[in-house]
Copies of this chain bind each other. A is one copy, B any other.
Amino acid sequence: MYRTHNNGALRLQNIGETVTLSGWVQKTRNKGFMVWVDLRDRYGITQLIFDEERSSKEAMTMASELGREYVIQVTGTVIERESKNPNIATGDIELLVSELQVLNSSLTPPFTIEDDTDGGEDLRMKYRYLDIRRKPVRQNLIFRHKVAMAVRNYLSAKNFVEIETPYLIKSTPEGARDFVVPSRMNAGQFYALPQSPQTFKQLLMVGGMDKYFQIVKCFRDEDLRADRQPEFTQIDCEMAFVEQEDILQAFEGLTRHLLKEINGVEIGAFPRMTYDEAMKKYGNDKPDIRFGMEFGELNEVAQHKDFNVFNQAELVVGIAVPGGNQFTRKEIDELTEWVKRPQVGALGMVYCRYNDDGSLKSSVDKFYDQNDLIQWAKQTGAVPGDLICVLSGDTAKVRSQLSALRMELAQRMGLRKPTVFAPLWVVDFPLLEWDEDTKRYHAMHHPFTSPKPGQMELLKTHPGEVKANAYDLVLNGNEIGGGSIRIHDKEIQSKMFDYLGFTPQEAKAQFGFLMDAFQYGAPPHGGIAFGLDRLVAILGGQETIRDFIAFPKNNAGRDVMIDAPATIHQEQLNELHLKLNLSEN
């Protein structure tokens, strides 16, 4: 047996016991007549002590030669520590070692195995197995496990059944790009890895399974944006015989349970907001409502003067930055430069100081007097001491720009507190969105999303205005879940495919099995999917999902530790009926 206890277990009551421990050498201190070793494992650190009087000469010698990250096994007696360490759970005791065995030596690790390591991102990823020895990474992985268990036990208790759906499925050009898997046994044919189990969970509803969930890997071959992974994990859920309200209640329950169980935070009924309202108030369909700075639209109060920039704009909109009047001119100039960065894309920023004496001073005083500016304050909710920041231009663009500014200011001002949780349902999403590239409307969610009752007619006349039975769950400015009530009527589904530009042949080839299934008594149904990676990161008070994934890939989709993807043997290619085609496309 390699150990009787782990390195986080021993306390004062164990004093006098003979125990065996195993673990990694965190550090050693050698005073000649005495050697201390910090022994580490997943559970904690225990201090070992070797001394001239009480330890064997052999053990003393071996102890003094131990390097960092050596794996050792020791047997000894638990004794009380002279100078206790209140920072660790085992800080009252230490182990007087009688026997020491080196189980494995170690090269000097390429970075320090400490909470704050000196290793950069690239090095940590290449040696991820060493990075995982670090407490913050280890705790994140254990935290993820806890969240997943809490999800499973909650849903299971609510009669949801976790059902595994297949990974080797069929490629559908709709949506993002698929990863495909060539079939050796079916020459020239390919499986695809699922972007989500969407059609299978709908088939399970047709199959009467009524409450389904699955924590499942999904795959998207996208050009990776920051903090996206080609493989990611979803909490995928679907229910039959439900309306939107049933789904919102069920998964608000799950989220509330997680916040309580994992974070100890009790939250009442989640607020709800329509997509239109979220865009108008926050310029964003996933607003962070932990802080204010709601948008105030200024068209009516700013388009009556000679300031052409505003007069020609589709939208003039501002926010009141609390206490922002304290910003220096230099700081405001810097903010203006920030919104003009290509990533944000504003052409400039108008601002207005709201002084403590009630007077207002804007950067466009030439055009606006105090009476005008007080209207600006009214619309944005500014009070004395605030700074009003105003952007103008095309509605969609200016909302997105002002939203970016709002989030940046909140970040700088420390308003995005990781231990404060503000969930929000955003509902009534548009059914369709316009795609500039193809000059066509596309399904905003996916082609199985049902329009709101009575809006099928609008499809013909005002497609952009049709709202869907679609909803997102937003937490702290992140979309953590999204779903919809599905179409369960084959006629409507077929009309929708038609509308989205599928020929009947294409619809049949890609979704024929679903259309077929709908002919045999499909129940009303709907669902939701949560991004587990992001959910876990946010509950853990962080925003980088990579820190909560054991073996993440980098932004080029590579696993730098195992060096994948890689070339394969010519024989494998032959068996798969493939040739490489490395000329320029």
A residues near B, CB below 8 A? 1-3, 22, 24, 40-42, 69-71, 103-107, 109, 127-133, 138, 141-142, 144-145, 148-149, 152-153, 156, 161-171, 173, 177-193, 199-200, 203-204, 206-211, 217, 219, 221, 223, 230-231, 233, 241-243, 246, 488-489, 512-513, 517, 519-524, 549-551, 553, 556-559, 561-569, 572-582, 585
Contact = CB atoms under 8 A, between A and B. Distances in A.
A138 B205 CA distance: 12
B209 A141 contact: yes
Contacts of A144: 163-164
Nearest to A131: B207
A292 B564 CA distance: 51
Nearest to A178: B572
A563 B513 contact: yes
B563 A103 contact: no
B203 A568 contact: no
A562 B170 contact: yes
Contact of A162 (B107, B148, B184): B148
A124 to B, nearest CB: 12
Contacts of A206: 129-130
B567 A189 contact: yes
A105 B219 CA distance: 35
A581 B578 contact: yes
Given A168-B559, A574-B585, A517 B103 contact: no
Contacts of A566: 170-171, 189-190
Contact of A149 (B131, B152, B188, B488): B152
A457 to B, nearest CB: 21
Contact of A577 (B550, B558, B585): B585
A583 to B, nearest CB: 9
Contacts of A579: 578-581
A184 B219 CA distance: 13
Nearest to A211: B42
A132 B166 contact: no
Contact of A521 (B105, B145, B186): B105
A208 B42 contact: yes
A561 B187 CA distance: 19
Contacts of A153: 149, 153
Nearest to A489: B104
